[in-house]
Structure 1
Amino acid sequence: MLGLGADLLWADMNRLLAFLFHQGVLDEQFLQLQQLQDETSPNFVSEVVNIYFHESEKLLTNLRALLMEREFSDYKKMGIHLNQFMGSSSSIGAKRVRNVCVAFRAATQQNNRAGCLRALEMLEHEYCYLKNKLHELFQIEQQRALAAGVRYPAQN
């Protein structure tokens, strides 16, 4: 018999996912990513998302560095970083992050530095929110997996 804790944690995971979908943080691409996870690769989603986080940190650093240059004028290079960020966000289902990237890219196409600075702040905010919520989801998933592995003797 599986522990009751595993069932409660499963419900917590589903509630958190439903909330993230309802808030537009995630989209159906995240579900497709989850479908690729199985017994042979039980950590597939968290591994892919951790790669996304690692690469996103670099992109955010590059974007901030470009905008902080005194004589900033390389909107094209910024657009390249944003396209990478947008693509990787789309691939994991990070809908709100992707949407901010679209708005950010529009500001770069207009050579609007003030708009780019505002968009960068929004991007950093949405990215941090996503990162915190996905870490929370993965922690619950880890606890659920541990609880599911614990078997209790049948009660007489």
Structure 2
Amino acid sequence: MDGYLDEQFVQLEELQDDVNPNFVEEIVTLFYRDSTRLILNIEQALEKSSLDFSKLDTYMHQLKGKTTRCKRTFQQLKKEYSTLKKKLETYFQMLYRSFVQFARQIGPVETACRSSY
């Protein structure tokens, strides 16, 4: 796969997690399903004796649009991922500070020992 997949694909893989373990497969499957249909339409249009350039142009634009939308969707996904990450980091920092403040208020905690009688 060397030379075919770029850094964006690696970043897409990094967004896959236990909650959505098939994320990359789903995105790629959707892209290829639509692209395959468009490529078939283009091939069929090219095989005709009289070419309908208007139809070919439409198919080409649709194919280009799929590629562009795939990239745009990925960029939006990266942005949302980054925003979520920052918000969660802030949340956990606040939670930690609250815990530390609470621990200071209650003071040292002594461990209870069972009596041996």
What TM-score comes out, normalization by structure 1 length?
Answer: 0.39
Which entry has the higher C-alpha Rg, 1 or 2? 2
What TM-score comes out, normalization by structure 2 length?
Answer: 0.49
